[in-house]
Amino acid sequence: MSVTAETHVHDDHDVHHHKETFVTKYIFSQDHKMIAKQYLITGIIMGVVGIMMSLMMRMQIAWPEKPNVLFEALLGKWAPEGVMDADIYLALVTIHGTIMVFFVLTAGLSGTFSNLLIPLQIGARDMASGFLNMISYWLFFLSSVIMILSLFVEAGPAAAGWTIYPPLSALPMAQGGSGAGMTLWLVSMAIFIASSLLGSLNYIVTVLNLRTKGMSMTRLPLTIWAFFVTAIIGVISFPVLLSAALLLIMDRSFGTSFFLSDIFIQGEVLHYQGGSPVLFEHLFWFLGHPEVYIVLLPALGITSEIIATNSRKPIFGYRAMVASILAIAFLSTIVWGHHMFISGMNPFLGSVFTFTTLLIAIPSAVKAFNYITTLWKGNLQMNPAMLFSIGLVSTFITGGLTGIILGDSALDINVHDTYFVVAHFHLVMGISALYGLFAGVYHWFPRMFGRMMNKNLGYLHFWVTAICAYGVFFPMHFIGMAGLPRRYYTNSNFPLFDDTTNTQVVITMFALVGGAFQLVFLYNFFSSMFYGKKAEQNPWKSNTLEWTAPVKHIHGNWPGALPTVYRWSYDYSKPGHEEDFVPQNVPMKDGEEELQH
Amino acid sequence: MTTLLIFIIVLFVAVALWQMVKIFDLAQVGASNDNQVATDKDNRFNGYMMIAFLIFIYAITIASFVYLGDLPLMSNSASEHGPGIDNLMVISMIVIFFVQIVTQFLLHYFAFKYKGEKGRKALFYADNNTLEAIWTIIPVIVLAGLIIYGLFTWNDIMNIDESEDPMVIELYAQQFNWKARYGGEDNVLGKANVRLIDLDRANILGVDEDDPNAKDDVIVTELHLPVNRPILFKMRSQDVLHSAYMPHFRAQMNCVPGMVTQFAFTPTVTTAEMRSNPDIQDKVANINALRLDRKAEIEASGQDLTYEFDYLLLCNKICGKSHYNMQMKIVVETQEEFDAWMKEQKTFENSLN
């Protein structure tokens, strides 16, 4: 099987090699492959912090106000004699959410795989602007550092929830975390948004302009479609969050009243007049809801690629998959109000948002059924990446279905802000996107590091994680339906909810086991980086272009000319071919038809 | 010192786990010199695991229903619109569980059935418009039904019919407690604004003392409602966002500083009737049995050991440190009981210093 690139087009790109120093190669690198690794490692570190926080919260909920040596060690003054303080509980809620949503599942997932795969899968030498790409990573790094630093401020880190609704987030007298902690949170997020915008613009330009010869939009792998559309949603919605953050900074520091009005707190009337917290909610969720899909779409794109490759079958309904990505992206920008049914906005708006929200179920259902049909009559190679992809489809269905309840304004009245919501969004975007991240790491690890991850450790990691994820979040729906509000430091002041306490303990047990087994992944990841089995060029026998590049990373990705593309990326088990895969750079045989639509 | 010790212990545990994983890892090496790509053996093992996992999902579903199924508020609503929401919830749940059971079965069964074998070729099957049309149209029809039902229910709840002469009650939120203000005999709330708050005169809600409608207003810390009378709640907050959540009545609305929000419902079951409901009695007995196990702890915290059922208003929007303890008792009673209770309350005019 010849997968070498054609040599008749000579590209002069590859002849000039810059001298690389340690700093330009590993730190201020402009190479997309190195930047992808930087994103991934930073994301993993942030993920460890975020998951540790969730475990501390789970321990507090299961054994409220009990001394815990871990709290004493990790929280210091916030856990006098090992008993967690109520303020720090809310801070953990806030920072866990922020870190997981933005730093792990947006930057860690999109940043890693968009950077790694866009140039490699479309056949480009690098991103359109390597320099902006480098700036994008370092801004992300800076924002991560500021977010972590905010944990150590005197009055405590931001504690108003990841949604930072004013006035709670605007008034330092409303809670300790709304002082310097919130300032740092806002600064960190503003920098994060700048980083995300630079990255997204780069992705969009690269996909539009740098596709190799023959790589039409309809031959793009679904990964690229997902990253491309994600970047567009990001460019549309992130600036709105930036403006909300800037207006909030104005309210906090310069006495404006965008979001504040008629406030009496700690014995005095404040001067604010005429603003509305509901305005902030609109601005926040105009990003906040698309953000769900910024997190989810790349995971779905990764899954599409991995399921097709490991099923040795074309992805079923390529056009429908692209159409559903576009439909989800479009709808995602007009459903934000379903977070606000009971915010005091006009009930008629609630009806409109119920309608648009439930429409999202249609493209989502198409995606789920297409994945299932892709498995049908396949020849499934159960690599760890494949297991995580199947796991993603499973949690995407379980979590997505309860969206039908939460998106329905009448039903939302009673389960809004209860544990039902926590269960829903953790399954459908948290766990699903995390599975997408894991799947991507297992699948493209050889491409990133030239070595294989250990598959048996991968199996162990997947099965324990899968069981624990359901063990944590499935029963959680039921305590939500019992009316238990989320973000309560302890439920012991409500005897009404005493019958949920045993379930809380079970959930925490699953969470602790699941959390501990992520160490298996960390071990596998870091040890395989240095001691893993050396990878072949195309270990999964995949069709996409990244596997035609040499294992050892080189600047410009391909020696000699760029590969030319003759077919879509899903010619798996195509009749008339000996092998069960036909890479995209293999020319059509005489009389062979391009069978994608 | 303890901190250091704990860090060392945690570190050791982590190292021990790491080493165990490493041993597990090394033990694999001799077994085969494979290249870390799934073999037929791996495919078989994980194929069977898929079926085991499917059984696990079904088991946890059944277990949740058996052990936790009586927790949901899907029955015993205490408001007129409650059964409408509960019906919609049950219908949505049936749809969800049907789809969940079928799709999870297909997903995991196919993953088992088509596990890879060397030499077998997959079916090249890229598209089928009929199939895709089917699974686009079926969700469209089902969702259309749910959307229409949902919108009718929502409109019924949110459209407030002023002609029914609802009793007007203000729910007033502040960090971290609730107050309620009744319109008094004229059933009209006096004007109010936080700028009028005068703590020295005990005008804690900022009610306008010059407004004649305000004189007979009644401010209380326990919410009493007459049964079967429509109630129109007007929500206010003086500091941050709060949410007035009354789960038994299927009612919730945010309290927003700077604006007045509203929600209306008609309570249909008195507290006394609800206490004698067999389902609620079971629930209370269960809770009390659980509380007996934690006797010392509960008594130390100053709560009554025995729990008695009461309706509650909870804060359900993160509002600061004591968010977890921001609640108000709700008593639903007959009109006579309500009138008698109301007679004992001071009017706003008489409550000022």
CA A47/CA B199 separation, integer angstroms: 48
Number of alpha carbons in the 13 Å side-chain half-sphere of residue A386: 30
B320/A175 Cβ within 8 A: yes
How high is the pLDDT of residue A14? 45
The least confident of A265-279, A414-428, B10-24 is B10-24
Chain B: give the shortest CA distance to residue A401, in Å. 6
CA A475/CA A479 separation, integer angstroms: 7
How high is the pLDDT of residue B29? 57
What percentage of chain A has pLDDT greater than the value 70? 96
Does A464 reach chain B within 8 Å, measured CB to CB? Answer: no
The least confident of A23-27, A257-261, B70-74, B91-95 is B70-74
- The count of structural domains within chain A is 1
Q: Which pLDDT tens digit goes with each residue over B264-321?
A: 999 999 999 999 999 899 999 999 999 999 898 888 888 889 999 999 999 999 999 9
Size (chain A), residues: 597
Q: Is the predicted ipTM greater than 0.95, yes or no?
A: no
Please check the confidence at residue A562 and state whether its pLDDT lies above 50: yes
Does A448 reach chain B within 8 Å, measured CB to CB? Answer: no
CB B219 within 8 A of CB B179: yes
B161 — phi, psi (to 5°)?
A: -95, 100
Chain B: give the shortest CA distance to residue A15, in Å. 34
What is the CATH classification number for the domain harbouring A224? 1.20.210.10
Q: Which pLDDT tens digit goes with each residue over B41-57?
A: 999 999 999 999 999 99
CB A311 within 8 A of CB A380: yes
How high is the pLDDT of residue A15? 44
Of A231, A50, A203, the closest CA to residue A121 belongs to: A203
Please give the order of strands across the beta sheet that includes B261-265.
B218-220, B177-182, B167-174, B231-237, B261-265
**Token pair in block for residue A66:** 């009990």
How high is the pLDDT of residue B162? 78
How high is the pLDDT of residue A10? 42
Q: Is the pTM of this model over 0.90?
A: yes
Chain B residue with minimum CA distance to A501: B290
Residue A24 inside a domain? The answer is yes
CA B190/CA B198 separation, integer angstroms: 16
Per-residue pLDDT of chain B (353 residues), as tens digits, is: 555 666 677 777 777 777 777 777 666 655 555 788 999 999 999 999 999 999 999 999 999 988 887 766 556 899 999 999 999 999 999 999 999 999 999 999 999 999 999 888 899 988 888 998 998 899 999 999 999 999 999 999 998 887 888 999 999 999 999 999 999 999 999 999 999 999 999 999 999 999 999 999 999 999 999 999 999 999 999 999 999 999 999 999 999 999 999 999 999 999 999 999 998 999 999 999 999 998 988 888 888 899 999 999 999 999 999 999 999 999 999 999 999 999 999 999 998 88
CB atoms within 10 A of CB A73: 18
Residue A193 inside a domain? The answer is yes
Does A353 reach chain B within 8 Å, measured CB to CB? Answer: no
How high is the pLDDT of residue B126? 86
- β-bridge mates for residue B244, sequence order: B253, B315
Q: Is A232 exposed, middle or buried (0-12, 13-18, 19+ CB in 10 A)?
A: middle
Using pLDDT thresholds of 50, 70 and 90, give the confidence band for residue A9. Answer: very low
Residue A1 inside a domain? The answer is no
Please check the confidence at residue A522 and state whether its pLDDT lies above 60: yes
Q: Is the CATH number of domain B166-351 2.60.40.420?
A: yes
What percentage of chain A has pLDDT greater than the value 90? 87
- Write down the domain spans for chain B: 166-351
Can you tell me which residue has the tokens 């006098």? Answer: A80
CA A156/CA A93 separation, integer angstroms: 13
Residue A554 inside a domain? The answer is no
How high is the pLDDT of residue B24? 72
How high is the pLDDT of residue A23? 79
What residues make up the domain containing A206?
12-261+271-548
- Give the number of A-B residue pairs with CB atoms closer than 8 Å: 427
Q: Give, to the nearest 10 degrees, the angle between helix B40-68 and helix A455-481.
A: 20
Of B99, B319, B148, the closest CA to residue A409 belongs to: B148
Nearest to B122 among A379, A452, A494 (CB): A379
A417/B195 Cβ within 8 A: no
Residue A375 inside a domain? The answer is yes
Residue A310 inside a domain? The answer is yes
